[in-house]
Structure formats: C-alpha cells, structure tokens
Structure 1
Amino acid sequence: MSLVLVAVFVAALLLGAPIAVALGLASAVTVVAFGLPVHVLVQRCVNALDSTPLLAVPLFILAASLLNAMGVTGHIFDLVRLLVGRIRGAVAQVSILVSLIFSGMSGAALADIGALGKIQIDQMVAQGYRRRFGAGITIAAATIGPIFPPSIPIIIYASVTNVSAVQLLIAGIVPALVITVLLMAQVAVMARLFDLPRDTISPSVRAIAAKAVVSLPALAAPVLLIGGLLSGYFGPTEVAGVTVAYALVIGFLVYRTLTVRAVWACLRETTEATAGILFIVATAALFAWVLTLDQVPAIAGRWLLGISDNPLVLLLLVNLLLLVVGMVLESIAAILIIAPIVAPALHAAGVDPLQLGIVFVLNLMIGLLTPPVGMSLYMVAIVARMPVHEVIRGVLPFFMPLLLSLLVVSMVPAISTWLPQFLAQ
C-alpha cells in the first residue's frame, strides 16, 4: 500500500503537480485501489483542520501583513542602524538584528523576506556591499523567524505530534538567539577578512530617541506576544488574536497609516496564504493516515531503534534525513508527513520532545536555502531582481553558522528545554 502511495506521489511531483495536489491524489488513488471507504478522504481532511492551535496560523499571517502595511519595518531598520553605529559590516549586522525583531511579529521565513528583503538588500548595496552578499545574509537571517515565536511551522509541528504548542514556542527562543549570535559572528569575521564597509549613518542621542519614539508602538508587538506566552495567560491562538487587535489599534490610531482598503488587501493576502497552507495540512494528514494504516511509523520506529538506542545518534540520523528531505519537499508538508513517523521512536529513545521539535523545524528551515525547492532562494531572487544562481552563491558562506547552530541545538538539549522548564517551576 505504501509503495503505491509513494509511487503516485513521486509521479505527480515529476509531472509538475503542486505538493498539496500530489499528496491528495496519491492518497485518493491508494484508498480506491485497496478498497478503503472513499468517504474517509473527506473525513480525514476535515479532522486535520479541526484544530484550535491551527487558528493561530491565519491570525499570525494577518498580524504580520498589517504591521508590514503600516510601513513600520523601515522605522525599525533605521533605529537598529542608529544603535549599531558605524562598525565595519554594520548594515549586515543590522539586517540580522532586524530579522530577529521582526520574527517576533511574523512567524515565517518568507514573510520576513517579503517585508524586509528589499530594504535590507538595497541598504547594503547603497553602502557598497555586493548584491549577492546582501541576498545571502537576508536569506540566512530569515531562518530565525520560524524558530523564534510566533512560529507557524512550530505550531503545525506541535499539532501533529501532540506536544504543547506554548512550551514548544518558548523552547525556540534560546535557539533563535544562538542562530543570531553565530550569524553575527560570521559577519564580524567576514567584515575583517573582506574589509566590509562601515555604515554612513551618524548616530546621536537625539536621533536615537526620536526614532525610538516612532518605533516603540511597533516594537511593543513582539513584547506583547512573547510576554503573553511566557505569562501563561494566553495560548498561541489567543496571543495571535491579541496581536491582530493591537496591530489594528496602532495602525489606525497611532501611526494612522492603515486604511480600510489596506486592511482589505491584508485580509485577501492572508486568505490566499492560509488556503495554501491548510490545503497542504489537509492532504498531508490524509497521506500520513494511509502510511499509519500500513504501519509505516511502527516499522520505522523499530528500524531506528534497531540501529541504536543512543538518543544523540538517532537525532543525528534524523538530522541527515531532514537535511535531504528539506531539499526536495516543502517544509510544512515534510513536518506533516515525517514527524508522525520519526517522533514516536525518538521520544521512546529518550530525546526530549521540545528539543526534537526545534531540531526538526530548524533542519527544514535550512532546507529553504537549498535548491531545487528552496523557496527562500526564489523569494529573494524576485525581491532583489537577481538570477537564482547568484543568490545561491551569496548564501553559501552562511551555511556554516546555520549548520553549526543545528549541531549545537542537537547536542545540547538544555538550549531548547531550559527556558520552558524554568518557567514551569
């Protein structure tokens, strides 16, 4: 049964079918071919979407869209430039820090690139950086977004593995900071080796204070979000709703840059993005159900535990698997298909569920930087108006800090588990 399922899926992908269509078609063909009840196709898809945590997905997408529509990203970028000053490689460092800040609003790598990419790359080119360097650091920094809360991939991972979404979101805070520090260290080294330009901005206390006042309402959005999660008063869905409400208030009453037409455009953009994500969620759940029916998770679990019962060895094996999968499969589909197969075995071997969730998502976010399916590459190519091969050349040096971050998070469980455990005391 599973062989038919995978064969139809691969054939559909090779014929150019979208990932969601390929997943649904492969599942439907298998259900019909093996005489399973046809009504299960609809039932399983509907059950997969009947999830309260998934309500956070469209709300976080809407919040990021509203904040982007206000034009606050430019204010935040200018504020961080003033704070960093005129060190060598300053604008590249600013791009990393701004990506960290904006990740507290968006929850998705492509959203970060869409909101910040043009600003980041144009500023670096204006300062004398190569365009491909600007594209590379923009893509690498965008991997912070899906790790730092709110994270749409983490919410989806939590929903399919029965892990607490709140704890998993909190678990992503320290790893995101690790990625940020290692990326900044890489830029610092490259600044000395390649004599990267200094920023031309002239920071002063008055300029910093003025820009901070303008940026403060927008900067309060991630503080509100993280504070709500850490306090335990809100779950992911409630926090997402509060963030949307806050964005509307500051957009209409503080910045006064939001209009009814702009909100309508944000709603349309959110609907389109959500439809694409949930279409994959529904069909991937059906695909995973057929695999479960054929006992693939149990077989995979026995196979993994037969190789080794050492948690670190198993985690490194899963890392290799996911790095390859991330090259050819869209990240949300990969989470929905592979997580239910490998997570039970690794949990049984002693891998902490929170650590596994962060490692899983980080692997697949690195996959966004790798051809042929790396969506971040194509997104930046569009934003920067560059050939994809030039974008790939630009991002290559930044694989080193990203893979090092992955290794550190894999080998040191406390990086993912310490903060949730501390807050639970």
Structure 2
Amino acid sequence: MISSLLFAMFVILMAIGVPVGVALGGAGTVAIALANPDTHWFGLMAVSQSFYAGLAKYPLLAIPMFVLVGSIFDRSGVAARLVRLAQSITGNGPGMLAVVAITVAMFLGGISGSGPACAAAVGAIMIGAMNRAGYPRAYSASVVAAGAATDILIPPSIAMIVYSILVPQASVPALFAAGMVPGILAGIGLIIPAVWLARRHNMGAEARKEPRPPFWRSLYQAVWGLSAPVIILGGMRMGYFTPTEAAVVAVFYGLFIGIFVHRTMSWRDLFPILREAGELSAVIMLIVTLAGIFAWSLSTLSIIDPLTNAIVHSGLGPYGVLTLLILLLIVAGMFLDGISIFLIFVPLIQPVAMAFHWDLVWLGVVLTLMVAVGQFTPPVAVNLMVSCKIAQVPMESTVRWVVWMVGGMMGSLVLVVLFPQLALWLPHYLGY
C-alpha cells in the first residue's frame, strides 16, 4: 500500500508541475513517515541523514567543476577556432557545415561533458553560419542539439559521474573509457542522416561561395583547444590526477586560454561565469541529494527486491527485459532530464542487471546513450531548447529533422546492445 502511494505521489507531484527533485524527496519523505507511524520523528531524522549522505560524496565535486569548464570554454573562443579548423578539413560542400557542427560538438565533449553548455557554445557560432549558407533554421537547431548530445558519452561526462555514484561497482575511469567508442559511433550515426537530409533538400548552396579556411593557419589557432582533451584525459590515464582533480585542472586551463592566450575573456567576466555555473551546479546537486531520499525509501520499504523478482521471472528473458527498459527510457527521456532519469530508474534497474549478470559498465553506457537521445527529443529536450532559442524557432518546427537524428543515434544504441565489446574493450585494454 505504502509503495503504491510512493509512486502515485511522485507521479501526481510531477503532473502538477512540481520540480523533479522536490517530487522525489517529498514522495520519499512521506512514504518513510507513513511506514513508521509510531516513530515519525525517527523516520524524519533518517531522511536528513540520507540527504547529507547523498551529497557528501567525493566524485560529486567534479560536477560543479565540469559545469564551470563548459561556461569558461563557451566564452574562451575555443569553439570558434575549432569550427574554422573543421571547415578547413571538410570544405563547404552540401551538408559539410552539419558535419562541422557535429564534429566540433563531439570534440567539446572531451572538455566539458555538458550537453546544454556545448549546444550554447556551438550553436552561437554554427547556427548563424548555417543560416547564412542556406540551411533552414530548424534544421540547424536540430543538428546542433543532436551533436551536443554526444557530450555526455565522450569523456568527461557529468551523467557518467552521477551513474558511478549510484553504482559504485562501475568506476568513473572505466565509464569514461567505455563511453569513447559508443560516443564516436553516435556521432557517425548523426552525421549520416544530417548529410543525407542536406543533399536531399539541396541545403547549403550559399556555403560553396565561401572561401575555405587555410588548414595550417587554422590548426595553429586551434592548437590550444586541441590540447585540452589530451591534458584532461591523458592526465587521468597517466595517474597524475583523479577525474575530480582533472575537472579543476580543466578550469584553470580554460581560464589560462581565455584570459592570457586568446584574450577573449577578462577578470570581470569571472563573476557572471561563476554565478551561472554555481546556479546550474546547485540545481544538479539538489536533485541528486533529494533523489537519494527517494532511493533510500525504496530500500527501506523493501520495494526493489519484489519488483526485481517479478521482472526476472516474467519469462521475457534478458533481451526482452532490456528492450522494455529501453522503450521505457525513451518515453522518460521525452519528459525528464538525463540526471533525473538516472536517479529515478538506476536504483530499480541495477538489481535486474545483477540478476541477469549484465556488465554494469556496459549498462551505464547503454543508459547514457538513452539519456543522450532524450536531450534532443521533444517535448522536453534541454539541448534542443538551447539551440532553438539561439535559432529563434519553435521546438515543434524541428520534429521533421530531429526524428532522423534520433533514428541515427538509436542505430548506434542497437550496435552497442548487440556487441557489448564496443563499449568494454577499451576499459579492459586500459586495465579498468
């Protein structure tokens, strides 16, 4: 009875517009209090302890740092120089600006790990350029939003850090390594329909009139940005710093580039950057801690074990169950952000995965791929919100283009599901 009330209250709170974190924490608190009618105050004390325990975790320190990195590189001029380098390689043929947008977004994923931050950085440069070249605004917004979704797959990834908090058996370095190849596959899965659509609808005719940037000059200007993922990921691999420390190194490296190298930032810019990153980080951390109360209530009320047994003995088998989970997360991704999806569903999915002997690192990559799809799938798509605001188009106008991008990334998901070694061979090779 109380377990049904827990989920019913959560759904009702979400339906009336209560923020996800408050809905999770509120439903969990009420359920815990009702489960101990004679000791309400003791239950509420446990809630406060669970709140603190959900926040006091060392890997969570990386989240505000990587959020700050995204804001810094957004203003440092790195994205603009990477765009010119990519254009010098691809040229200005049909669909090539779409390839540039997706490729640069993938590369920025190796710096910030935040999809909305990448959508803002790439969109501010590429959407205007694509519009001038004759690409429809809705198409440009769709390409940028989809390309930015690869950021949570290509390390470093804020979503994977959250997953490692929920699933301690999957370490952050192993998840980062496992996301590399699927992230590249997802990018290729987006490039194929983007180029096909551009050529089919004869987009980008004006781009052919633009001169091709010189390669060596563009490479020289982009070398500081190209070095960022090498320093961040290489330093972690060599053991010079942990993922959390790598986020701090990335912050100072970005400040050095923006203030002293490119000189696109000043010390006065630091306050709005810190304020923006602080606000976003506070929202993420609050959702994480309130979701910890919800997860603790699931454990306290003994809901997970009966639910796991029912799923495992449903007769669907591992692939049938996995298919249902993917369909469920597709629907959830249309309405919830990625971190909320992890916090709600991972405590329920992990026991099922252990019962079927699924690799938890591989499962993290599969779930992250689903979250990536949700970041540009209407009606609630954080990346698409950002790119549509920059392009000044309504989100519904992007559906005819987004559906092809979703299909491309789903193809990458199918490959990772059918061939788990696509995700696991690199962490195994690196010894994680």
* TM-score range normalised by the length of the shorter chain: over 0.9
| Alpha-carbon offset, residue 95 of structure 1 | 0.6
Q: Which residue number in structure 1 is paired with residue 395 of structure 2?
A: 388
| Alpha-carbon offset, residue 219 of structure 1 | 1.7
The answer to whether 1:53 aligns with 2:62 is: no
Which range is displaced more, 146-155 or 189-198?
189-198
RMSD of the TM alignment (CA)? 1.8
- Give the number of equivalent residue pairs: 423
The answer to whether 1:72 aligns with 2:78 is: yes
- Alignment counterpart, residue 45 of structure 2, candidates 27, 39, 44: 39
| Alpha-carbon offset, residue 359 of structure 1 | 0.5
Q: Which residue number in structure 1 is paired with residue 95 of structure 2?
A: 89
- Alignment counterpart, residue 158 of structure 2, candidates 137, 152, 174: 152
* 1:135 and 1:395 in contact (8 A); partners too: no
Q: Which residue number in structure 1 is paired with residue 117 of structure 2?
A: 111
* 1:62 and 1:267 in contact (8 A); partners too: yes
* 1:315 and 1:346 in contact (8 A); partners too: no
Q: Which residue number in structure 2 is paired with residue 164 of structure 1?
A: 171
Q: Which residue number in structure 2 is paired with residue 295 of structure 1?
A: 302
- Alignment counterpart, residue 259 of structure 1, candidates 266, 271, 285: 266
The answer to whether 1:141 aligns with 2:142 is: no
Give me the whole-angstrom Cα distance separating, in 1, the residues matched to 2:398 and 2:93.
25
Give me the whole-angstrom Cα distance separating, in 2, the residues matched to 1:389 and 1:191.
19
* 2:155 and 2:180 in contact (8 A); partners too: yes
The answer to whether 1:317 aligns with 2:318 is: no
Which sections of structure 2, spanning at least 5 residues, go unmatched?
A: none
Which sections of structure 1, spanning at least 5 residues, go unmatched?
A: none
Q: Which residue number in structure 2 is paired with residue 397 of structure 1?
A: 404
Provide the secondary structure at the position in 2 that maps to 1:295.
coil
Q: Kindly provide the CA deviation profile for residues 27-65 of structure 1, in whole angstroms up to 9, marking residues without a partner as x.
A: 222233333521122111110111111111011111121
* 1:57 and 1:274 in contact (8 A); partners too: yes
Q: Which residue number in structure 2 is paired with residue 407 of structure 1?
A: 414
| Alpha-carbon offset, residue 115 of structure 1 | 1.4
Q: Kindly provide the CA deviation profile for residues 271-319 of structure 1, in whole angstroms up to 9, marking residues without a partner as x.
A: 1010000010011110111111122221222122113584433322221
Give me the whole-angstrom Cα distance separating, in 2, the residues matched to 1:47 and 1:360.
24
Q: Which residue number in structure 1 is paired with residue 6 of structure 2?
A: 5
| Alpha-carbon offset, residue 10 of structure 1 | 1.8
- Alignment counterpart, residue 203 of structure 1, candidates 195, 204, 212: 212
Give me the whole-angstrom Cα distance separating, in 2, the residues matched to 1:90 and 1:158.
37
Q: Which residue number in structure 1 is paired with residue 286 of structure 2?
A: 279
Q: Which residue number in structure 1 is paired with residue 128 of structure 2?
A: 122
Provide the secondary structure at the position in 2 that maps to 1:106.
coil
Return the letter of the residue paired with 1:89. Answer: G
Give me the whole-angstrom Cα distance separating, in 2, the residues matched to 1:370 and 1:268.
29
Q: Kindly provide the CA deviation profile for residues 309-355 of structure 1, in whole angstroms up to 9, marking residues without a partner as x.
A: 84433322221221122223332122012112111221331211111
- Alignment counterpart, residue 102 of structure 1, candidates 105, 108, 127: 108
TM-score, length-scaled by structure 2: 0.93
Give me the whole-angstrom Cα distance separating, in 2, the residues matched to 1:12 and 1:309.
32
Give me the whole-angstrom Cα distance separating, in 1, the residues matched to 2:148 and 2:265.
25
Q: Kindly provide the CA deviation profile for residues 127-171 of structure 1, in whole angstroms up to 9, marking residues without a partner as x.
A: 011111111111111110010011101110111011111100110
- The aligned runs of 1:180-259 (5 Å cut-off) are 180-197=187-204, 199-200=207-208, 201-203=210-212, 207-259=214-266
Q: Which residue number in structure 1 is paired with residue 18 of structure 2?
A: 17
* 1:183 and 1:398 in contact (8 A); partners too: yes
Return the letter of the residue paired with 2:293. Answer: L
Aligned-pair identity (%): 32
Q: Which residue number in structure 2 is paired with residue 270 of structure 1?
A: 277
CA gap 1:358/1:308 in 2 versus in 1, 3 angstroms: farther
The structure 1 segments of at least 4 consecutive aligned residues displaced by more than 4 Å after TM superposition are none
Provide the secondary structure at the position in 1 that maps to 2:423.
helix
- The aligned runs of 1:414-425 (5 Å cut-off) are 414-424=421-431
* 1:316 and 1:410 in contact (8 A); partners too: no
CA gap 1:88/1:372 in 2 versus in 1, 3 angstroms: closer
* 2:113 and 2:151 in contact (8 A); partners too: yes
Provide the secondary structure at the position in 2 that maps to 1:307.
coil
* 2:377 and 2:406 in contact (8 A); partners too: no
Give me the whole-angstrom Cα distance separating, in 2, the residues matched to 1:32 and 1:310.
37
